[in-house]
Amino acid sequence: MIKDTPLKIADKTFTNRFFLGTGKFKNKKDVAETIAASSVELVTVALRRIDIERHEDNILEYIPDNITLMTNTSGARNADEAVRIARLAREAGQGNWIKIEVINDSKYLLPDNNETIKATEILAKEDFVVLPYMFPDLYAARALVDAGASCVMPLASCIGTNKGLKAKEFIQILVDEIDLPVIVDAGIGRPSQAAEAMEMGVDAVLANTAIATAGDPPSMALAFSKAIASGRIAYLSQLPQTKETAVASSPLTGFLYES
């Protein structure tokens, strides 16, 4: 029986490879119940949803202390804005884990790889643990490694679409070529799609919309957590290769054909 090792990113290790985004939930109670149901160990929160002056409506009140909190730079349109948000988050006591999210496209909401690389380089030099959200491009991924990123987070498809692994072939290139954890982020809409991503060899999956907009978010998050664990086991077990022609499970010889 294959035994897995925890996922290591910077100075932390994770046994659950399902990461959760906290946007779009109908209420903060659902966030707390979803975290509990799925046993996630890392959640990401936009700085604009954190109000440290108010406790009742502060989303941080619904996230257990043992959870790794990663502030994201949602809303940043360029590197300068992303860096400013990251610094504000750390000054507000939210730690140094930051998901760089730079989007200057209002239609497709695609991440700006060039500005993401710039922000990553600045923040990594300031001792941030930088997890950059990116379009799956090998050259950009290599530049992010050189800039000091702690992982790369390629999109599976356009954010919020639930379309699944539309960028599968390009993500596979990153898995094969990048010597950092690869975390699929954005576009995963079903547990089966998350399992498929893990079977490719990615290290973790971050999902938000598919959970928050489900009829029962805690149950959906549990399904995602189990699917991701299942996909990981399948990958470690070395999936069998596909074949173009049929191959019988049992030999087509024996008593039925004996004269």
The domains found in the chain, sorted by start residue, are 7-239 (3.20.20.70)
Q: State the pLDDT at residue 3.
A: 83
Q: State the pLDDT at residue 58.
A: 72
Residues of the chain predicted below pLDDT 70 = 48-57, 250-259
- Catalytic machinery residues: 99
Q: Whole-angstrom Cα distance, residue 212 to residue 237?
A: 32
Q: What is the pLDDT of residues 26-75, one digit of tens each?
A: 888 889 899 999 999 999 988 765 554 555 567 777 787 889 999 999 99
